[in-house]
Amino acid sequence: MLFHTLRKPVLSALTLGVTLVGLAGAAGAADLLKLKLATADTDINPTTDSVLKLAGKLGFFEKHGVEVEIVALEGTPQAVAALNSGAVDMADISIDAAIRLRADSDLPIRGIVSGTLGAPFLIAAKAEITSVEGLVGRSYAIADNGSLDHTLTQVVIASKGVAADGPSYVAIGAPAARVQALAAGKVDATTVSYGTFLPIADTPGIHILVSPEDFSAAAPGLSKFVAALDSTIESKHEALQRFVDALIDMSRAFEADPTQWVDAVAAVRDDLKKENLQKTADFLKGRWCVNGCLNPTEVEKTVTFIYSNPDFKDLKAVAAADIVDHDFIVKAIETLGAYETVGLDKR
């Protein structure tokens, strides 16, 4: 896998505690089908979505016969632009962004798999801010205008009776940069994942204002997916299938053995303590996309939720079936076998 913004050189299988020799069916380099994937962040973040970048590092893309070049960008708008321009084959984007592209521009775009289900975010703020109402007029760090953390934050605070545009949003970029800006007192609040917050959890004057449980309750369970244009789905169908197979296989491996994930993230994020990564792994138990996380019922709920937003009231209606191609996940489950789970990604 090629990755534009690695913190360290590509890591050996031994360093990660993974034996690639044991990956049966690995294709030769000449047989690997190639894809480019745009992501909406530059780091490997401590969330289930990390499978997008770790699958290559742990040999799962190679195992399934695909080579994925990661184009690491900052925020959903940049990832959408890369996909729309043809610079990449796929992009990990918010579902509301895909609906807008389909409704406003009639762009033939469809999600084929997701790496995350159940919003793992929280709102962290200065201790002096004791209620969501207290965010009004305060500086609030986001990745970018229209990024996933921005749109979900607006949904969550609006659900609590506060104007979505009440905070003074400041585009800072990656989650690690946002949380460090909060710890340094440069901003008043931000939205980050549980794992990203842990390194500053003991910083005096900082607290969790909205817990992950409360955040998830107010936001749609399924908020983003990996999308491709219809033309790419047709012309690179086999490569996309191998990509989906690899992601689901990787997610199942992390669900079964969270230590593998802890070691992999620790190897590329030396700013994250293993102790905190283990706590994050415990938090992520049951959240891995062991069946691709695009259950039709969840997709329908998300689309309904998005259209309940006043910002979408005048937008052309787009059916859930029109923004997802389920064939890839169905085929992957046939290939990999059914997976029974007590977690979120039930089939």
Q: Which of 73, 44, 74 is nearest to 56 (CA)?
A: 44
Shared domain for 6 and 143, answered yes or no, is no
Burial class (CB in 10 A: 0-12, 13-18, 19+), 185: exposed
pTM of the full structure: 0.83
Collapsed DSSP state (helix, strand, coil) of residue 193: strand
Domain check: are 194 and 55 in the same one? no
What CATH number does residue 161 fall under?
Answer: 3.40.190.10
Query: Do 104 and 19 share a domain, yes or no?
Result: yes
Are 115 and 51 a contacting pair, CB within 8 Å? yes
Per-residue pLDDT 10s for the chain (347 aa) are 444 433 333 333 333 434 343 444 444 555 899 999 999 888 899 999 999 999 999 999 999 999 999 999 988 889 999 999 999 999 999 999 999 999 998 999 999 999 998 877 999 999 999 999 999 999 999 999 988 899 899 999 999 999 999 999 999 988 999 999 999 999 999 999 999 999 999 999 999 999 998 998 888 889 999 999 999 999 999 999 999 999 999 999 999 999 999 999 999 999 999 999 999 999 999 999 999 999 999 999 999 989 988 888 899 999 999 999 999 999 999 999 999 988 899 98
**Is 141 found in the same domain as 107?**
no
Judgement on whether residues 63 and 203 belong to the same structural domain of the protein: no
**Does 28 share its domain with 90?**
yes
Tell me which residue range forms the domain holding 194.
121-218
Total domains in the fold of the chain: 2
pLDDT in tens, 213-263: 899 888 888 999 999 999 999 999 999 999 999 999 999 999 999 999 999
Residue 322 within any structural domain of the chain: yes
Collapsing DSSP states into helix, strand and coil, what is residue 307? helix
**Residue after which a domain boundary falls, among 218, 249, 282:** 218
98 and 234: one domain? yes
Which among 6, 302, 40 has a CA at the least distance from the CA of 148? 40
66 bridge partner residues: 33
- Let me know if residue 344 belongs to a domain: no
Please tell me the number of Cα atoms within 13 Å of 157 on its side-chain side: 24
Helix axes 237-256, 258-268, angle to 10 degrees: 110
Would you state the torsion angle of the CA atoms of residues 144, 146, 149, 151, taken in this order, to the nearest 10 degrees? 150
